[in-house]
Amino acid sequence: MPLTRARIGVLMGGRSAEREISLRTGQAVHRALLRRGYQAVAIDVDASVHQQLRTNKVQVVFLALHGPGGEDGTIQGLLEIIGMPYTGSGVRASAIAMHKVTTKALLDCHGIPVPPGTVVQAGRPGKGPATVPPAGLRWPVVVKPAAQGSTIGVTIVRRPSEWRAALRLAHEYDQEAVVESYIAGREIAVSVLGGTPRPRALPAVEIVALGGFYDYTAKYVKGRTRYLCPAPLPADVGKRVQDLAIRTYQIIGCEGAARVDFRVTQRGRPYVLEINTVPGMTETSLLPMAAAKAGIDYDALTERILQSALGRGGTMARGGTTTH
């Protein structure tokens, strides 16, 4: 069955801390699909999602869920079980990419530069007053939950007095807190689109947070951040981050669209911070911004991501409707 004849469910919302951003992404995607002539229905995900898919006679899912429950392989696993084609990365890649500790370990094994760091489990922050960071690190360090997005629960710790509070905040969202060296330099994001014969890296975006820290507010409130696209990097550094983004995408095993976040030092050395397998598609999001610079407008980008559902089992493979 062609995608133009399929009934598409745009899954959004959910119960993660990124719910509001997911709703904005999903609503924008839903509108774009309708403009393109697709039969699309918006679904706010809760425990009844399986029933909602049946009630709405959904045949293909466009995933617009962010954070745990949406990017971590769980919803992907459900859709695999019921034979429902969906956009983006599969179960394994989603689970790996969502967990920053696993992502860093895998990338490091393949020679991808990542910031040095360690993990602090909840309830084991160490004894006595913190005067130095763990694992031989030096101030400043970045403390963040192992499995969250949108800079939720992240703190840049510049002095010992901030250490305990930063751990407490990270542990509110995850039992594991990632502690890693703060890489002074520029914030760069490279989006990648799957395709043949190989994935394509879009123009890099430099993020200049006016408050000095690209936190949740800076990401989603207009006017709080400047974006430079393409990023004004030396040609060799620009090519390097694009190549690293593609390699990261391939090592993790991603499909569809993804975004790789970097810090680039003043000497031009890039470090991969993380990869996002369901990048934001709001009016301030980096993926559509980079795509536009590459000549792909928002609606065409949405349609291209939708194409990543092709080749999966269920509706499209059988040429009929699902029987879940």
* Active site (catalytic) residues: 18, 150, 220, 259, 261, 274, 276, 280
Percent helix / strand / coil, the chain, rounded to 5: 35, 20, 45
Q: Which residues pair with 156 in a beta bridge?
A: 142
CB 35 within 8 A of CB 297: no
Alpha-helical (H) ranges within the chain are 19-35, 49-55, 74-81, 91-98, 100-109, 163-173, 216-220, 235-252, 286-293, 298-306, 315-318
- For 36-85, the DSSP string reads TT-EEEEEEESTTHHHHHHHTT--EEEE---STTTSSSHHHHHHHHTT--
Q: How far from each other are the two terminal CA atoms of the chain, in whole angstroms?
A: 17
